[in-house]
Structure 1
């Protein structure tokens, strides 16, 4: 759907975060006379007064009846379309879309594709992969936009001048179906992996996987770059897209730490500043995607050595009094916490676990703690007690120390005490930050601050925007 198609319809916005504000400004720029209703909280409603927009009405009551009064509701990504009030309104004919759908609607060519678009998704690694993709394209001399879920809403860069050669777009599972309903196909779609996550938003594991894979099953990209090592992806059949596999021996893959293109050795990835082998394997995804648009990828692989890692992703904040502090605040699943531990297997580690409880299964994590535990585990947050109860019977078997804390300050104090002045304190909570923090960035900043470091120095995402 193009923004112009909203004209003459009853249109509402739902959510007034950065994505919601970006949608408002994009719509108002194109349709200055279109009446709009904003569903938001009372504080946000008061903020809208400063806009001095007589055609914008703020509404704080949200239910199936108020939503169904509109033909189209442009909702923010964090608002689930599976909420009962959204389902009730949808049953009455209200159409729910997001800013991602509007952006793609504006960028389709005559054949229905968005030229030069790389869409990247996956349960873990998508931000680093998208950023690395932009980095390598820029190293090749291409003007490239880095945007999307990584921190710059697409509608904030609706019509940049001059236009970039390529778009490196990160998409969360909240946004992938938006591309599918936009009516415009991505040029290249990259899917890294699929693990259960955001089950509260999606309403279950099956729907999460379905929504995540909609980027390739529903959006029908020209090329789908898929991870052959992921069981969910390996069995996909995509008749409407060319499929290119990575992490397979006939394409880009790792042999140990060495990067290969089929039988050709290209690079020792231990020289690449990507923490963890799982992150370095995503270099294979990036190079596969670059080849998909006809660029020779091998010469660009060396430029990965100058990549600057992203904040909150296995980020070494610093060392103080014998303790190294590592910020992996973006970790929101048990699988992500396990991957983080793998990066520090040779170190004495205290891991901080827990946060918002989405009901994810921690059994696989617990099973690993029988044989490969860190020195210390400290649980915290809303699901901390549940994780603690699961791990407590394994303390004697695994030989690790287990402690509980009410919050991050206490958790770090416990970790310092139990490490006895030597080791790594790893914030890799395996759970979202909701309830205690605005987002994972705020949690990572608090971690740095408690450790005695300047949070401003660790927060910026390098390369965001167009360059």
Structure 2
């Protein structure tokens, strides 16, 4: 790409601004920013278009632009093609941020420089100029970013893949295919670590030519998490709440093993890692009641995992938000069959869940009203859990704002 090439950056969010800054700092002088209602007008006049992840590469305007000879690329694809270091890419419906952050912590424990970016932390072009061949880069990667990506990581990680983002993707198969695009370009000298507990993840793994490593909740033996039968860390030493997080730990230590990190460094890093904010985060304990903020949980599967983490306790759970066309049947069945779980529903999907769950559920329009009502039945020794099983956009700007609001209610 010549510095005088005609370039359009389509979308001017965090990635778009980072792309512009990087290209300008490297002498590119013919950059147009397309942001607003007319962004798809006359795309054929550009040689390269950097697509925002928020717009599908299957958009008719992109399809036509390709026919007109325009190269459609993206922030993350450009990074791949210019990064001198080995890249570890993590994808999945949930667990990406926790696993990516833990991988970074383990690698840094081994006194090796590790950059974290993608869908978490910084846009990777922000730090590309600092990366050397001896470093490791970990990229948390969403389906929006991997969709038709013309690049592949040295080490790929495929976590649990279930139904998600059906407000963006045409159907579940397109979502799965978008995840698989991250690994299709892998070579036999690359590596793929994947969760064999999920059929769709196994389907994705089949599309990679990399050397493959599986992990599963079956990799627990005598109170330890194991790799190939070798005991790596005592489960009692893991700070992360929830059995589902064992899979995130297993994925991270598999990656560390591939990269030559010692077991001692793995143990040290895992035992010190308490997770990310708003992922089963204990935010208060009052009058014997544990208040847990899991606002990041935007799917029924992750809410089910959260409830299973507190299976031995009485639990009030707050459910609801904006609709992503999710299948709630397994979550509803669990709640109906567990007397210790009392659901307080709110918002758009709260109405749906209230109807599906039936007589044991409560419904209020707003989270604050649900929270106030729940305090009347909370008892010492119980858990008060926000794990909404839904996106937040009906009442909040994003899951972080929702989580911060819940924390204020608790404290």
Q: Does TM-score exceed 0.5, indicating one fold? A: yes
How do 1:206-225 residues align onto structure 2 when only pairs under 5 Å count?
206-220=173-187, 222-225=190-193
Q: What is the TM-score with the length of structure 1 in the denominator?
A: 0.81
Unaligned runs of 5+ in 2: none
Match of 2:238 among 272, 277, 287: 272
**For 2:60 and 2:347, how far apart are their aligned partners in 1?**
27
Deviation at residue 257 of structure 1 after TM alignment: 4.0
Match of 2:372 among 398, 413, 421: 413
Deviation at residue 349 of structure 1 after TM alignment: 0.9
Deviation at residue 248 of structure 1 after TM alignment: 8.2
Deviates more, 1:13-22 or 1:135-144: 13-22
Residues 1:191 and 1:297: Cα distance change in structure 2 (over 3 Å): farther
Deviation at residue 145 of structure 1 after TM alignment: 1.3
Other-structure match for 1:55: none
State whether residues 258 and 268 of structure 1, in contact with CA within 8 Å, keep that contact through their aligned partners in structure 2.
yes
**For 1:233 and 1:163, how far apart are their aligned partners in 2?**
30
Other-structure match for 1:192: 159
Residues 1:6 and 1:313: Cα distance change in structure 2 (over 3 Å): farther
Residue aligned with 1:224, SS: strand
RMSD of aligned residue pairs (Cα, Å):
2.5
Other-structure match for 1:445: 404
**For 1:337 and 1:142, how far apart are their aligned partners in 2?**
35
State whether residues 320 and 390 of structure 2, in contact with CA within 8 Å, keep that contact through their aligned partners in structure 1.
yes
Which whole-Å deviations, capped at 9, do the CAs of 1:312-352 have from their partners, x for residues lacking one? 10000112344321111111110000000011111111111
Deviation at residue 75 of structure 1 after TM alignment: 2.7
Residues 1:92 and 1:389: Cα distance change in structure 2 (over 3 Å): farther
Other-structure match for 1:151: 121
Q: Does 1:176 align with 2:176?
A: no
Unaligned runs of 5+ in 1: 40-59, 109-114, 396-400, 453-467
Deviation at residue 9 of structure 1 after TM alignment: 3.7
Q: What is the TM-score with the length of structure 2 in the denominator?
A: 0.91
Deviation at residue 116 of structure 1 after TM alignment: 2.2
Q: Does 1:80 align with 2:56?
A: yes
Q: Does 1:243 align with 2:219?
A: no
Residues 1:257 and 1:213: Cα distance change in structure 2 (over 3 Å): farther
**For 2:381 and 2:201, how far apart are their aligned partners in 1?**
41
Residue aligned with 2:278, SS: coil
Which whole-Å deviations, capped at 9, do the CAs of 1:71-113 have from their partners, x for residues lacking one? 43323323333455555655655443321111112115xxxxx
Other-structure match for 1:287: 253
**For 1:143 and 1:255, how far apart are their aligned partners in 2?**
32
Match of 2:227 among 261, 266, 269: 261
